[in-house]
Structure 1
Amino acid sequence: MNDNVSDYIGKTKHWQAEVCTRLREMVHRTIPGVEEALQYGKPHFLRDGRHSAVIHVARDKVSFMVLDAAGVEAVPGLLRPLGNGERKAVDIREGDEVDYDFISDILRRTSGAH
């Protein structure tokens, strides 16, 4: 675990810190040997030196973005495309029920983890 990522999470609202911590744990379970780093001011998760996922905390939500997701269909209201669709994001707001298994499955598919 990277101390800078821990500090980032620690500076968020209580509910956001809980979501970020669960997402972080889910990433480590989903991608064995994943590395984490604070890059561009956000927690990034890398597998074999390639970016796999990013956590971004905004005022009223936590966004979890997966990369290399062109082959993953967007799900209205759950998984939104970014840019040209190579990236997809899940937005989580306070009180939302979060399907971490769904997010883990998407991450497993986009990161090549098995």
Structure 2
Amino acid sequence: MSDEVTQYINKAQPWQAEVCEKLRTMVSETVPDVEERFQYGKPHYLKNGNYAAVIAVAKDKVTFMVFNATNIPEVKGFLRKLGKGERKAVDIREGQTVDYDALAGILKETATGL
């Protein structure tokens, strides 16, 4: 666990910090040997030197993004595509119920083979 990532999370609003910690735990449990790195001002997660996921805190949300997601379908109101669809993201807002199991399933699929 990166101290810089911990500091980043601790600066967030309490509800955002809670979401970030749950995402952080989910990533480490889902991707064996994942490397946590504070890069470009955000927590990044790498497997074998390849980007697997990133967590970003904004004013009113936490965004969780996965890489290598071309084959993952966009889900209206849940999972949106970024770029040409090679990245997918979910925006989590205060009070929202988060399906961490669904996110873990997506991450497991996108991180396989890295």
Smaller-chain TM-score bracket: over 0.9
TM superposition shift of 1:41: 0.1
Match of 2:32 in 1: 32
In the other structure, the counterpart of 1:18 is: 18
Q: TM-score, normalised by structure 2?
A: 0.98
**2:76 — aligned with what?**
76
The alignment of Structure 1 onto Structure 2 pairs a total of residues equal to: 113
Question: Which residue matches 2:41?
Answer: 41
Report the TM-score, using the length of structure 1 for normalisation: 0.98
User: What is the rounded CA distance, in whole Å, between the counterparts of 1:18 and 1:91 in structure 2?
Assistant: 15
* Structure 1 unaligned blocks of 5 or more: none
**CA deviation string 1:41-65 (max 9, x = no partner):** 0000000110000000000000000
Amino acid at match of 2:12: T
SS in 2 for 1:38: strand
Shift of 1:40: 0.3
Taking the aligned partners of 1:33 and 1:55, their CA distance within structure 2 comes to 18
Of 9-18 and 104-113, more deviation after overlay is shown by: 104-113
Deviation at 1:32, TM superposition (A): 1.1
Compute the RMSD of aligned alpha carbons: 0.7
User: After TM superposition, where is structure 1 displaced by more than 6 Å over at least 4 residues in a row?
Assistant: none
Name the structure 2 match of 1:63: 63
Letter of the structure 2 residue corresponding to residue 64 of structure 1: F
